[in-house]
Structure 1
Amino acid sequence: MAIENGHSNGHANGHANGNGAATPIDESIAVKANAVDKVPQLLEEIAKQGKYLTQDGAQNRRQLLESVRSLSYALETPREAMIRYCWSQPTIFAAIELGVNLGLFKVLSKDDKPKTAVELAEATGAEPVFLSRILKHLGAMGAIYEVGPDTYQPTNFAKTLTIQKYGDAFPCMTDCINSGVLAFPQWVKKNGYQAPTDGKNTAMQLGFHTDLHFFEFLATNPEFPVRFMNHMSAYHQGRPSWMDPGFYPVQERLAAGLDTSAPLLVDVGGSTGHDLQEFRRKHPEVQGKFVLQDLPEVIAKAKVLVSPDIEAMEHDFFKEQPIKGARAYYMHSILHDWPDNKCKEILTNLAQAMKPGYSKVLINENVIPDMDADWQTTSLDLIMMTVFASQERTERQWHALVESAGLKIVNIFTAEKGVESLIECELA
């Protein structure tokens, strides 16, 4: 097959027309703006949204940010996009992780005074010429401010990286996620381009050269689970909670008609109890018994952290639920860790413990819309597929999964795009 301009001719550099022949793609599109015709409208939207930024608060800020991203994508050429994906994203990740490990951001963020590369090298113990190259890239990518030749100041992002739960995100991803994601194209090619269905046979095992499930792999190094939990904690910061006013009608759906002989809320797989403590803080008027359930090693830590009126109980959610007839069995980001067959086991165990006409299952997870999904949710979906053989689910997929366990979805409460919903279920 002949090679022309770096491409094989035929289908490799074109698409099929109505006759089955390839229509060549004009390579000049690679150096033209992706959608220059959309720029005027986007500029109008940005100007309008910018006027109301301080009035409308967080929601308007997110809409403005989406419009700015759309403008950037419209102005960017395909060649620039290719280089951004291939060059800048892996290298800025590496530069940030290096900075976290070196303590660079802590030194830079001691105050807002400009600091030279030489000063930063002296304070961190790094070789000056080496560090200046790293700083140059961090500045070029907006992670820090370049305010003069080899002179830098911290951005708010750089300052935030000095807080451990935020800084831990980068070594966490390197520890147990990124190699699996990078191995994913190889894994699916080998497996016929089908999604994995077994948590012990995913790209994660291929990328990290292990036979262990993700959670087993975390246990091989004491730093891994700490960084992972810190990263998850940081991920949830600043996002609307179902316990906030106007999200889920707590009084109407939980407190009303409460039978005090059984627990109000059982947090299944609830880690060290942060969700239960948040609920009690935000709804002190709702009285009832609270139960936290997780594996023994987690509960041992939780007993030190949670208030004494929260019962911390060892429980494996793949086994029979020991608490019968609770008002609500609650799970936060549990089912997205498991493929459908495992989720059915978890939900069935809950269904068998429920009191008909009274008990609920509350699932706090993402519901992917049919269109205009948020990039955070689609990113997480690919990570879950790569690492757990699981997924973030659409509304149709949630209905099918819940119904397979003898339950039905009564309501899905959603605050805004890209935020976990609360899926309220009852016995079918």
Structure 2
Amino acid sequence: MDKEAAAQQIAAITKSLEDAQKDLRLYASAIENGSGTDLESIGKVSSTHTNLIASVRNLNRSARGPVDMVFAQIEAVAYTGAVRALVEMGIFEALPLDGSSLSADVLAEKLDVEKDLLVRLMRVAIPELFAEPKPHEYAHTPYSMVYLHPGIRGAFKLMLGEYTPVFNQLSEFFKSNGWKSPQDEHNNPYTFTHRTNGLTMWEHVKLDPVYFADWNAAMNAQGLATSFAISIFPFHSELSKLETTEASMLVVDVGGGLGHATMQIKGLIGDVKGKVILQDRPEVLDDIKEDLGAGIEKMGHDFFTPNPVKGASIYYIRRCLHDWNDAKCIEILKNISCSMTEKSRLLIAEIALPTTGVDVEGAWMDLTMMSFTGRERTEEQWAGLLTAAGLRLEKTHGLAGTHYGVVEAYLK
């Protein structure tokens, strides 16, 4: 690199560092001055944290330069591959939880693995994940201990086991099937990569009970991680405007899974009289082990059939529609709209992407959904689906710093 090019790089690094420092101060201020519990504070913290991450990524890009950033992608692949191997090896469970260290010799004997292999894998994962207080001696850090959480472990194994190979095969799929978004549940990047022999993604993941347990843990963890978005819609203030009785159908949670969102909605409704219905397929409802609480009723229902509850105040569907292509979404929405009255409203709790400036999470989530014909959608795309199902978009409720929101719709 000549002096002029080096000077330009130093200037770029300096500017990126200044931007990162500025965004760090804003993030710290949001934490210090916010309550941490109300939506405005949560949104401010989320927004400033997102900006800080973007600045740090830009600083890393400036420091590495164009050529080295190409090799950064190789590093990332090697790192995640090594971590996945270490997960399967059992290193996370083998290390002491009190932060003390174990030598490679002890770990190799304990896990019945070759010491040389363990050392080679661990050198990739240090210092991002584990600590190495002495040569070939390893200890947990907060960044490694998080992998012991079943939901985090499941999400990691899901993305590395199922979707990393899919992402690597995207170009081959599109070269074979045309450069357009996939629409066929039986022929898409997922089924192409995993050679599912005619099975859909949903059918394929159920073949291995152990893996399916990891898959469910990952889905539940993601649902809980984004549960803050449920309170974006003002359930209590809107429902308290209605004259209701104990028999009134207040909220029908369509495809509500194990009921975590349903219970949160019930809490947000507060003292408004009426019923909350949790709907999902009977085999899903059979897996519910905890008491959902008073005022919540379970009802077996497949959302590809007309909704049996007529005239509810709110039909609520969360993190379901992004799994499906437009045609399937319209079918699901029609099966809800046919049971609505002019006083009913539909709430779709999903990501609502902006037309530009999509954050990292929104972008990779969309590619993940695309792999089996789903997608994350913009407000305009949500409006198009609603119109096709006989509904109209009234408003999109959002929160600063995140693309998660609630799309509110009524009958036309």
> TM-score by structure 1 length?
0.85
Instruction: Find the residue that maps to 1:264 and give its secondary structure.
Output: strand
1:392 to 366, 372, 376: 376
1:15-414 alignment to 2 at 5 Å? 37-57=11-31, 58-59=45-46, 60-85=48-73, 87-140=74-127, 142-210=128-196, 211-239=198-226, 241-244=228-231, 247-260=232-245, 261-302=247-288, 306-307=292-293, 309-356=295-342, 358-386=343-371, 388-414=372-398
Q: 1:420 offset after TM fit, Å?
A: 1.5
Instruction: Find the residue that maps to 1:325 and give its secondary structure.
Output: coil
Q: Displaced runs of 4+ in structure 1, greater than 6 A?
A: 31-35
The structure that is helix-richer by fraction is 2
Return the letter of the residue paired with 1:126.
Answer: V
Instruction: Find the residue that maps to 1:197 and give its secondary structure.
Output: coil
> Structure 2 vs 1, CA of residues 33 and 70 (structure 1 numbering), >3 Å: closer, same or farther?
farther
CA contact (8 A) 2:316 2:346 kept: yes
Q: 1:414 offset after TM fit, Å?
A: 1.1
Instruction: Find the residue that maps to 1:49 and give its secondary structure.
Output: helix
> Structure 2 vs 1, CA of residues 372 and 268 (structure 1 numbering), >3 Å: closer, same or farther?
same
CA contact (8 A) 1:243 1:250 kept: no
CA contact (8 A) 2:353 2:403 kept: no
The alignment status of 1:424 with 2:408, answered yes or no, reads yes
- 1-side partners of 2:8 and 2:130: how far apart? 28
Q: 1:92 offset after TM fit, Å?
A: 1.8
- 2-side partners of 1:54 and 1:331: how far apart? 35
CA contact (8 A) 1:32 1:77 kept: no
CA contact (8 A) 1:39 1:75 kept: yes
Q: 1:334 offset after TM fit, Å?
A: 0.8
Return the letter of the residue paired with 1:382.
Answer: L
- 2-side partners of 1:41 and 1:236: how far apart? 38
Q: 1:105 offset after TM fit, Å?
A: 1.4
CA contact (8 A) 2:99 2:139 kept: yes
CA contact (8 A) 1:344 1:404 kept: yes
> Structure 2 vs 1, CA of residues 270 and 367 (structure 1 numbering), >3 Å: closer, same or farther?
same
Q: 1:285 offset after TM fit, Å?
A: 3.2
- 2-side partners of 1:163 and 1:306: how far apart? 24
- 2-side partners of 1:68 and 1:47: how far apart? 9
> Structure 2 vs 1, CA of residues 32 and 232 (structure 1 numbering), >3 Å: closer, same or farther?
farther
Q: 1:239 offset after TM fit, Å?
A: 4.1
CA contact (8 A) 1:117 1:135 kept: no
CA contact (8 A) 1:176 1:224 kept: no
> Structure 2 vs 1, CA of residues 309 and 250 (structure 1 numbering), >3 Å: closer, same or farther?
closer
Q: 1:308 offset after TM fit, Å?
A: 5.8
Aligned to 2:42: none
Q: 1:240 offset after TM fit, Å?
A: 6.1
> Structure 2 vs 1, CA of residues 321 and 276 (structure 1 numbering), >3 Å: closer, same or farther?
same
CA contact (8 A) 2:236 2:268 kept: no
CA contact (8 A) 1:302 1:312 kept: no
> TM-score by structure 2 length?
0.88
Identity score, percent: 28
CA contact (8 A) 2:392 2:411 kept: yes
CA contact (8 A) 1:202 1:389 kept: yes
CA contact (8 A) 2:277 2:296 kept: yes
Instruction: Find the residue that maps to 1:232 and give its secondary structure.
Output: helix
Q: How many residues align?
A: 394
Structure 1, unaligned runs of 5 or more = 1-26
> Structure 2 vs 1, CA of residues 201 and 255 (structure 1 numbering), >3 Å: closer, same or farther?
farther
Return the letter of the residue paired with 2:193.
Answer: G
- 1-side partners of 2:195 and 2:95: how far apart? 37
Encode CA deviations 1:112-161: one digit per residue, 9 max, x unaligned.
12332223223333221111111111105x12223332223322121111
CA contact (8 A) 1:121 1:127 kept: yes
Structure 2, unaligned runs of 5 or more = 32-44
> Structure 2 vs 1, CA of residues 49 and 126 (structure 1 numbering), >3 Å: closer, same or farther?
same
Return the letter of the residue paired with 2:114.
Answer: E
CA contact (8 A) 1:34 1:78 kept: no
> Structure 2 vs 1, CA of residues 295 and 240 (structure 1 numbering), >3 Å: closer, same or farther?
closer
- 2-side partners of 1:33 and 1:367: how far apart? 41
Aligned to 1:415: 399
CA contact (8 A) 2:239 2:269 kept: no
- 2-side partners of 1:240 and 1:334: how far apart? 14
- 2-side partners of 1:146 and 1:47: how far apart? 29
- 1-side partners of 2:70 and 2:272: how far apart? 53
Instruction: Find the residue that maps to 2:340 and give its secondary structure.
Output: coil
Return the letter of the residue paired with 1:80.
Answer: D
Q: 1:174 offset after TM fit, Å?
A: 4.4
Encode CA deviations 1:154-209: one digit per residue, 9 max, x unaligned.
22121111111111223223443333332221111112211111111101111111
Return the letter of the residue paired with 2:241.
Answer: A
